[in-house]
Structure 1
Amino acid sequence: MLNEPFTVTIEVVPPEGPDPAKVLAALESVARLPFFGFSVASNPVAKPRMSAMALCAMIQQRTMKPAILHLTTRDHNRLSLQGELWGARAMGIETVLVATGDFVALKDRGHTTTVRDADIYSLVGMAREAGLHTGVVFDSHPESDGLNRAADHLKRKVDAGAQFAVTQPLYDEAGADEIAGATRDIGIPVIMGILPLRTPRHAEFLHTRVAGIAVPELLRQRMHDAADPVAEGAANAREMLAAARHRFAGACIMPPFDHYEVMFHIL
């Protein structure tokens, strides 16, 4: 995957339901922009979405750009994980991002179970054995000052065979410096997450309700004061992309709510 001096990917959330036409058209429209490929989420926030594997294959065929498959221990037992990894190789997918997956909401646990038949370290090893370039997630848990613990966790993933890591979204240079410093001696490339803000409410929600994301107060105020919050969010994303170029091996940009058109204002 990391065959460029600075690798940029775009995260994709698969659609609800069986029709990929809208998302594929949106991705095709941005495919000419200067970035490496797409990174396809798997049932984010523990809600059902189209198969990430199927969408990866369609994206690669439609855009001629690589697609990175997300795979979680939450949704599969060991048999299914192995099948997914082999299936990815068979369909021309070369890179996988493995994670434990978001927690199932309490209200959904009556009809949705968490599997986790294998832990994240086992899944990293399985992915490497399947011949896939294997990445992991780095969550610094800013809401609980968990940076040191997260760095130790990442080292264990590297020992298991992880070849790159993707951070949670960052929103200022101070946060980027902190993460870059904590991961400097990890020994693998680190990709910085960038999630463009849309509205003041979006910024407040991410800061207060989403674990692993901290939106600085100054930026939240900028969003409240902005005449055009969408443009302000895109401007911050451009700032963070520039910051990433001096600190990390790449950036994973995560357009919110299927607004892939924001990529024209960022790249």
Structure 2
Amino acid sequence: MSFVISDTQKFVTTIEVVPPAGNDPAALLDKLAAISDLDFDGFSVATNPVAKPRMSAMVFCHLLHQKTGKPAILHLTVRDHNLLGLQAELWGAKALGIDTLIAVTGDPSAGRQKDGATAVNDVNVYQLITLANESGLTTGAVLDFRPERNGLKNEVKRLEKKVAAGSRFIVTQPVYDEPTAKTLADACAHLPVPKLMGILPLLSFRHATFLHDKVDGIAVPDALRREMETSADPVRTGTIQAKHMLEIAKLYFSGACVMPPFERFEILKEIL
């Protein structure tokens, strides 16, 4: 399940997927098989986003490859496993032919403690990157540029440590305008690894407002929120805006990770 991301090859496009909540992947696999002939290079599979339980991302990567023939990048968090569990996951992924991974800290699970969920954090994300490389996987990292608190300078320092630990590519949080895209590209230009820009299509004014106000690491410009509010067809407006951001990503980045929300994969036909 080879997945090569480099500055020397063509622009790379991945599609981020959240595994199903439950033990039956059939419906989601059918949806993804239906769009597998579109112009993208592979999937990127999240693990328990917003600290809510989902099917094993590693298992879903494997099933997705079997169903579509396209490779999948596995997300792995330090939140969910102790050191023994992380090593087991890494070796298991390699045995299944999953050779590319994104190492992440994971969304905080403090709000889930009523369900008994706690964060493990035996190791930090830098140690996970090193461990993944030693296990034979190509490992990526996330740039969360913290626009809500002007945190880019500090986050670039963290990114430098991730690259020093062995990250071989970078994926950003979603970007919604060209000035931000250029700022991020310039801030990371000194790092000698490919960078993929995150693109999260908007579906409604409410969706745009929620992302801007409630989700750390995402800033939706005022003008775009107003456009979504007044649009007669906000889904189409968000789709066209995402398509525009994909063209901007081609100006400044080595690739893009498109993140269709709420399994709205049908909009990818227009975006791609």
Q: TM-score, length-normalised on structure 2?
A: 0.96
Aligned match of 1:266: 271
Q: Does 1:211 align with 2:216?
A: yes
Which one-letter code corresponds to 1:186 in the other structure? L
* Per-residue CA distance 1:35-74 (angstroms, 9 max, x = gap): 1100000000000000001100000011000011000000
After the TM superposition, list the runs of 4 or more consecutive aligned residues in structure 1 that deviate by more than 4 angstroms: none
Which one-letter code corresponds to 2:256 in the other structure? A
Where do 5+ consecutive residues of structure 2 fail to align? none
1:86-97 matches, cutoff 5 A: 86-97=91-102
Which one-letter code corresponds to 2:49 in the other structure? P
Q: Does 1:157 align with 2:162?
A: yes
2-structure distance, mates of 1:107, 1:122: 25
Q: Which residue among 24, 31, 36 is the counterpart of 2:29?
A: 24
* Per-residue CA distance 1:241-263 (angstroms, 9 max, x = gap): 00000100100000000111111
What fraction of aligned residue pairs are identical, expressed as a percent? 52
Aligned match of 1:129: 134
1-structure distance, mates of 2:25, 2:112: 28
Which one-letter code corresponds to 1:64 in the other structure? G
2-structure distance, mates of 1:66, 1:9: 10
* Per-residue CA distance 1:196-221 (angstroms, 9 max, x = gap): 00000000000000000000000001
1:21-170 matches, cutoff 5 A: 21-106=26-111, 108=113, 111-170=116-175
Which one-letter code corresponds to 1:102 in the other structure? D
Q: Does 1:184 align with 2:189?
A: yes
* Per-residue CA distance 1:156-211 (angstroms, 9 max, x = gap): 00000000010000000011011111111111111000000000000000000000
2-structure distance, mates of 1:15, 1:32: 22
Where do 5+ consecutive residues of structure 1 fail to align? none
SS at 2:170 equivalent: strand
Which one-letter code corresponds to 1:13 in the other structure? V
Aligned-pair CA distance for 1:107: 5.2
Aligned match of 2:244: 239
Aligned-pair CA distance for 1:236: 0.6
Aligned-pair CA distance for 1:114: 0.4
For residues 25 and 76 of structure 1, do their structure 2 counterparts lie closer, same or farther at Cα, with a shift above 3 Å needed? same
SS at 2:15 equivalent: strand
2-structure distance, mates of 1:145, 1:104: 24
2-structure distance, mates of 1:110, 1:127: 30
Q: Which residue among 2, 5, 9 is the counterpart of 2:5?
A: 2
2-structure distance, mates of 1:178, 1:108: 37
SS at 1:57 equivalent: helix
1-structure distance, mates of 2:186, 2:122: 34
For residues 107 and 64 of structure 1, do their structure 2 counterparts lie closer, same or farther at Cα, with a shift above 3 Å needed? closer
| Cα contact 2:168–2:193 (8 A) shared by 1 | yes
1:244-259 matches, cutoff 5 A: 244-259=249-264
Aligned-pair CA distance for 1:109: 5.2
Length, aligned pairs only: 267
2-structure distance, mates of 1:121, 1:98: 8
2-structure distance, mates of 1:204, 1:35: 29
For residues 110 and 53 of structure 1, do their structure 2 counterparts lie closer, same or farther at Cα, with a shift above 3 Å needed? closer
CA RMSD in angstroms, aligned pairs only: 0.9
1-structure distance, mates of 2:113, 2:14: 31
1-structure distance, mates of 2:11, 2:88: 32
Which one-letter code corresponds to 2:142 in the other structure? V
Aligned-pair CA distance for 1:105: 4.3
Aligned-pair CA distance for 1:224: 0.6
